[in-house]
Amino acid sequence: MVRITLRQAMYFVAVADHGTMSGAALTLNISEPALADGLRKLEQITNLVLLERLPARGARLTQAGLALESSIRQLLITAQKTEEIAAKIACNTQTILRIGCFINLTPYILYDLQKYLMNRFPEIKLDFHENNHKNLVKSLANNDLDLLIAYDMGRIGEKIQTETLFSLQPYVIMREDHPLAKCKNLTLEDISNEPLALFNLPGSDEYFENLFYKIKKNPSINFRAHTMESLYCAVAAGMGIAIVALRRKNNDSFCNKVVEIPISEPTNPLNIIIARKQTRGSASPDYIFRNISSFIREKSRNFGYVKPQ
């Protein structure tokens, strides 16, 4: 009788990949005690010590763990392939998958995701939408979307499954001739009296304004932008500095260079999530949902100033 569960196998592989209990727990979206309990049960089942716990919540595979690693990874691969085969058998008709994406995430995620899904799941018809957070959540709740990719604004609703994909740390952008442009890093206090260009979509504006409110400062907002392009152009034109999270691939705007400077003090990260309703007959079965999540996590490594979960 098989006693090793797929959940235990996933826990083991996550720790092997991350080298820390905290990193594995974040990726799996579970607590560290739950992760430790699952690994302890796996060791009891195999009668092997598979992991060596290190200081500061680190972990590495023992010789026994290394010997078992390839078999456990193959177990997960086989299970995933089995799910995919079963899902394709169940879906003899073409499935339409409706994916919504937050506006300024579209250039970073949606185009490459479309190519990936067309190659990986040619039997699925794709229907992409971009919008602000409020409208995306409303469309998901009304069953007009099957899943959405957006910032975690904490207002998704009941009976919605969410998963954190990666986190973005905010940083400052300004013209290269600004007096602070040569600084290696800045505090919020350093820029609190500067005119601010603000990314002004529902939810996003609150996040950036709250960074200043937490240090008891009221920012002077000089320009409100509805796209990342217009925000960068405003900064390049000298209409203010800005705090952003996503790095543009090309910082040339109106022939003026815009420099990027990290914020030195701890700030709340902007979490990017994927969300879907769990309903019978969903057009986004688990195996597709997991494939999309894995693809975006890997893609996030190219965004700059990104800390993958």
Give the pLDDT of residue 277: 81
d(CA 232, CA 194): 16
Give the pLDDT of residue 89: 66
Give the pLDDT of residue 128: 94
Answer with the residue of higher pLDDT: 91 or 52: 52
Confidence of residue 90 (pLDDT cuts 50, 70, 90): low
> What does pTM read for this prediction?
0.64
Which own/partner contact pairs does 302-307 have at CB distance under 8 Å and 24+ positions apart?
Answer: 303/108, 303/168, 303/246, 303/247, 304/247, 305/168, 305/169, 305/171, 305/245, 305/247, 305/260, 305/262, 306/166, 306/167, 306/168, 306/169, 307/166, 307/167, 307/168, 307/169, 307/269
Answer with the residue of higher pLDDT: 70 or 307: 70
DSSP sequence for 292-309:
HHHHHHHHGGGSSSEEE-
Give tens-digit pLDDT for 257-281: 788 898 888 777 888 899 988 655 5
d(CA 80, CA 74): 10
Give the pLDDT of residue 155: 65
89, with CB counted inside 10 A (0-12, 13-18, 19+), is exposed
Give tens-digit pLDDT for 213-245: 787 888 888 888 888 888 888 898 889 999 888
Give tens-digit pLDDT for 278-298: 655 555 567 788 889 989 988
For residues 124-149, average pLDDT: 90
**Domains of the chain: residue spans and CATH:** 6-89 (1.10.10.10), 93-167+270-302 (3.40.190.10), 171-262 (3.40.190.10)
What's the distance, CA 86 to chain centroid? 28
Give the pLDDT of residue 303: 60
Give the pLDDT of residue 94: 52
Give the pLDDT of residue 221: 86
Cβ atoms of 51 and 39 closer than 8 Å:
yes
SS3 214: coil
Average pLDDT of every residue of the chain: 83
User: Hey, how many other C-beta atoms are within 10 angstroms of the C-beta on 93?
Assistant: 6
Give tens-digit pLDDT for 157-206: 777 888 888 888 888 999 989 999 999 999 888 988 889 888 877 667 67
User: Hey, how many other C-beta atoms are within 10 angstroms of the C-beta on 220?
Assistant: 12
Answer with the residue of higher pLDDT: 304 or 50: 50
Give the pLDDT of residue 127: 92
Answer with the residue of higher pLDDT: 200 or 110: 110
Give the pLDDT of residue 255: 44
Task: Say whether pLDDT at 309 is over 50.
Answer: no
Answer with the residue of higher pLDDT: 295 or 248: 295
Task: Say whether pLDDT at 23 is over 80.
Answer: yes
Q: Picking from 21-30, 88-97, 101-110, 256-265, which range would have the lowest pLDDT averaged per residue?
A: 88-97
Task: Say whether pLDDT at 104 is over 60.
Answer: yes
Answer with the residue of higher pLDDT: 119 or 200: 119
Give the pLDDT of residue 24: 86
